[in-house]
Amino acid sequence: MAELLLELFSEEIPARMQARAADDLKRLVTDALTKQDIKFSKAEAFAGPRRLTLVIDGLPEVTPDKAEEKKGPAVAAPEQAINGFLKSAGLKSVDECEIREAKGKPTYFLVTEKKGMTLKLACEVVISDAIITLSWPKSMRWGENEKRWVRPMHNILALFEGDAVKARFEGVEASNKTFGHRFLSSGEIEVKDFADYRAKLANANVMLSGAERRAEILAQAEKLTKQSGLTLKPDDGLSAEVTGLVEWPVVLMGDIAPEFMELPPEVLSATMKLHQKFFSTLNSDGTLAPKFIVVANQVAPDGGKAIIAGNERVLRARLSDAKFFWDSDRKIKLGDRAPALKDITFHAKLGTLDEKIDRVQALAASLSEYIEGADKNAVRSAARLAKCDLVTGMVGELPELQGIMGRYYALADGESADVANAVRDHYSPLGPSDNCPTAPVSVAVAMADKIDTLVGFWAIDEKPTGSKDPFALRRAALGVIRLIVENNIRMNLLKVFEIAGGKKEAADLLSFITDRLKVHLKSEGVRHDLIDAVVSKGDEDDLVRLLARVDALSAFVKTDDGANLLAAHKRAANILKIEEKKDGASHRGDADALALEQGEEKALFSALSDIKNNTAPLIDGEKFEDAMAHLAKLRGVVDKFFDSVTVNADDKKLRENRLRLLSTIVSTMDEIADFSKIEG
């Protein structure tokens, strides 16, 4: 079996684009091979700052032979049509055709065997097409070239079983050569296969595998920090980015000047990460240490002293700016910055940030009544201050610190910890992995901010569509769900939406929230059909109560009684549907007790009446498990009814009464949940 090796070598590829580009290259090439029925055993892609690499193993040396068919006219067709077909196919006689049935008629078919080509020849087209088709978030042209790519292409290495494959892109022709590290190697490198390629790159100071580079970076960093009695601050995003910036990682440690250690640790970490791609280090007590980790892309003859000194100098300048913002921002009280929010547009149709804060403040005060321990005055203060740090110098320089800096400035102004923390927390939770606020004031403000956003965008009909959600409304909805569920907050969302000014949009917005809840619960292993069974009742806008009903229903359907009653419900509903369609009339309603004949149907009628009278108070009292247990008593009488009673009796009145009894089974069970929504 044969091997295909492809490397696209260019100027530096942005780190954030590398992984996707490698996956796309692999997909484009393997899909093209698969379409030609070319099988392979393994395909692996690699990405780095200057190269995308693909190796495919277990390939055949020639493409499969193919039989091509061309349908001709029917045997009984006019001679002119048959001669026309023979001429177009280059045939002399119909004897060269096969006769098959087509639409019930004997028909001429031309079958030709197309021999496979050498796979090397097929790869020429596949590779060239893949390079052209590969898309990038941002691309460029260079020189006099017309085609775009992420950065100027310098070299293409393309080998099939050690032989160069003819491929070309904007003046660059494929060969069996590549290049090593930009600074630590020189000259062309000739390779014969992937093993040779990988080994020679390693000798030329290029670590091909991104996973290996990342592991090496972390290993070196942890070794350095351990030697200083420190630990590395975990940061998966930064690790991934730095991995894409270097081909031969050399990890070094530098110092943070003492005068900057008075800055908030978030400022230090953000400045180092966002501007310099430095890792932070931690003391044994978890506080930020005055050391940073930098990953260089070369081995320095002085052991990295000059590199460290240069990075310390640049960091000092960055932190000097941050210290200036820190000192100057605190000269103006956070609350005094509120008028500046009038100059910031939240959305053209929803007004300024100042107007949004007015709405959030009023809504948060109303929500505080539902949240135990949420002081209304503290909630009002926190809501008024929540967005004020957006007009500070620090957040203008480092937008990632919004909310975080608001907390520091609020504390500096003498605000309570509850208010300051709510300013920081009101953006949370930002996603499924983000911590959810639990402090009452924080919960009130965070929820008000998200609900105001949702109601506002629903009011102007800017809802998410398909995969598009430019205003992150799905994230806002998930945030509302988590705030309610994780803090066990009892509130009627329809009423809350109306308080927020969304009376017209309330029902549709609740539907959106419950859809998001289904997605959220599905990720936690909860069945979506059980949620549907409760939600479709249309009378549940208290998420905590809704989940309690779902939990009780989930436990119930796992029991033998629950499974059998579910089957009985489906059986009763199906019979009703069939008979109502046949009769052209509804059989819904209560059965007539006096018209019952058999003991089994009388027992069922009595059990249904008892359950109807007893489950309603249990549901109103939110004793859902007790209601389910009461419902389970139906199993025996329902089983006996179906075993012994003929629903479609010859007597018309008896039949109609028994159908209404089936209707009562369905309606009684549906008081608890819509069992028709449950699968299985």
pLDDT-derived band at 350, boundaries 50, 70, 90: very high
Residue 545 lies in a domain: no
Domain that holds residue 180: 2-62+118-203
If you average pLDDT over residues 184-213, what whole number do you get?
96
Q: Which of 329, 360, 391 is where one domain is finished?
A: 329
If asked whether residues 514 and 644 sit together in one domain, one would say: no
DSSP state of 651: S
What pLDDT, on a 0 to 100 scale, did the predictor assign at position 253? 97
If asked whether residues 177 and 308 sit together in one domain, one would say: no
Q: What is the pTM of this model?
A: 0.82
Nearest to 218 by CA among 235, 204, 197: 235
Percent of the chain topping pLDDT 90: 66
User: Is pLDDT at 115 greater than 80 in this prediction?
Assistant: no
If you average pLDDT over residues 637-653, what whole number do you get?
89
User: Is pLDDT at 117 greater than 80 in this prediction?
Assistant: no
Residue 420 lies in a domain: yes
The CA distance from 158 to 6, in Å, is 5
**pLDDT, the chain, mean:** 93
Q: pLDDT tens digits for 153-168?
A: 999 999 999 999 999 9
Residue 603 lies in a domain: yes
If asked whether residues 377 and 431 sit together in one domain, one would say: yes
Q: Which of 272, 304, 329 is where one domain is finished?
A: 329
Q: pLDDT tens digits for 332-343?
A: 999 999 999 999
Residue 10 lies in a domain: yes
**Are 193 and 5 in contact, with CB atoms under 8 Å apart?**
yes
What pLDDT, on a 0 to 100 scale, did the predictor assign at position 278? 97
If asked whether residues 302 and 358 sit together in one domain, one would say: no
User: Is pLDDT at 366 greater than 90 in this prediction?
Assistant: yes
If asked whether residues 353 and 467 sit together in one domain, one would say: yes
Q: Which of 497, 532, 567 is where one domain is finished?
A: 532
3-class DSSP assignment, residue 583: helix
If asked whether residues 70 and 51 sit together in one domain, one would say: no
What pLDDT, on a 0 to 100 scale, did the predictor assign at position 408? 98
pLDDT-derived band at 103, boundaries 50, 70, 90: confident
User: Is pLDDT at 540 greater than 90 in this prediction?
Assistant: no
Residue 544 lies in a domain: no
If asked whether residues 309 and 379 sit together in one domain, one would say: no
3-class DSSP assignment, residue 380: helix
What pLDDT, on a 0 to 100 scale, did the predictor assign at position 150? 95
If asked whether residues 36 and 48 sit together in one domain, one would say: yes
Residue 506 lies in a domain: yes
pLDDT-derived band at 616, boundaries 50, 70, 90: confident
If asked whether residues 321 and 245 sit together in one domain, one would say: yes
Helix residue ranges, H only, 228-304: 236-243, 265-270
What pLDDT, on a 0 to 100 scale, did the predictor assign at position 590? 85
Q: pLDDT tens digits for 501-531?
A: 988 999 999 999 988 998 888 888 888 888 8
CATH number, domain with residue 589:
1.10.730.10
If asked whether residues 293 and 358 sit together in one domain, one would say: no
DSSP conformation letters of 390-422: GGSHHHHH-GGGTTHHHHHHHHHTT--HHHHHH
pLDDT-derived band at 477, boundaries 50, 70, 90: very high
User: Is pLDDT at 102 greater than 90 in this prediction?
Assistant: no
If you average pLDDT over residues 263-274, what whole number do you get?
97
If asked whether residues 509 and 418 sit together in one domain, one would say: yes
If you average pLDDT over residues 337-357, what whole number do you get?
96
C-alpha torsion 665→670→674→675, nearest 10? -30
User: Is pLDDT at 242 greater than 90 in this prediction?
Assistant: yes
If asked whether residues 404 and 448 sit together in one domain, one would say: yes
For the chain, what is the domain count? 5
If you average pLDDT over residues 473-502, what whole number do you get?
95
Residue 552 lies in a domain: no
What pLDDT, on a 0 to 100 scale, did the predictor assign at position 217? 97
CATH number, domain with residue 421:
1.10.3210
3-class DSSP assignment, residue 35: helix
**Are 425 and 403 in contact, with CB atoms under 8 Å apart?**
yes
Residue 406 lies in a domain: yes
